[in-house]
Structure 1
């Protein structure tokens, strides 16, 4: 029975392998050993490397596709947000204009109400002034009338004697008779 080394390589090959040999000393590696190692790695590692690179390529492509989808979705959301922003600006302008219009209307209403109240107060003041003026004039008339009556009475009392008193009575009696005769 043969050993595993004899099956893998005939004994004549071992002599050749022993003469070539691999130098495992890293500091003494020569160009041939390096090419040999790279060749072995390329030959046996090629499938693994290709599978790894293909898997990596699929992952990258999926990531790019997902990123593009997210970009499209974000672009759509951005567009919708811009539309909503524009609508909000239009609505804000409408609200501002309505507010300014309402403020102007209320200001005019307040000014009109204040003018009306002022006119009412002015009319009330003028009425009060006229009333007080008339009352003051009436008081002055009454006082002047009373003073005139008092002075006249004093003057009559100082000049009135019995003789003058009888003449005044006779005069008035004569006036009454004349008035009565005219009316009959």
Structure 2
């Protein structure tokens, strides 16, 4: 390590070689060019980062929606299990109804009808709730994405406007507007 350090020190102090040394002339070095290149990379790199952010937001929203759909499917499966149990119970009730019908009992028939109606209403409410949840999540995701895109577009436009406006252009615009206003006839 010591030999490597001595080699560099030796080359740096060897003025007659002319092939190695520290150039302190800022115009001869490419510092200005490097600054311009880095600035351009930063300017155009923002759009890439913004699209990555939007993609990440959309992916997150998609995962949430898929989670909601999975939850709704689990609720649907649970309801289907309840429905199957209700059908089994209905079959039992129908068998009992057949036995009691011979004996003249109509209360079982009413219980069967009420059970069918209650199960049907429960299924309809669950389906409606699932659809409303999916619609709401979809709308909320779309609104958030729209808002993000709009904010980024406005920020980009303001940045472009601020970077393009200089003092001369600003004064020219003011003079043109004053000329337009001066040429208009004022009505009272």
Same fold (TM over 0.5): no
Calculate the TM-score normalised by the size of structure 2. Answer: 0.36
Please say which structure displays the higher CA radius of gyration: 1
The structure where helix makes up a greater share of residues is 1
Calculate the TM-score normalised by the size of structure 1. Answer: 0.37
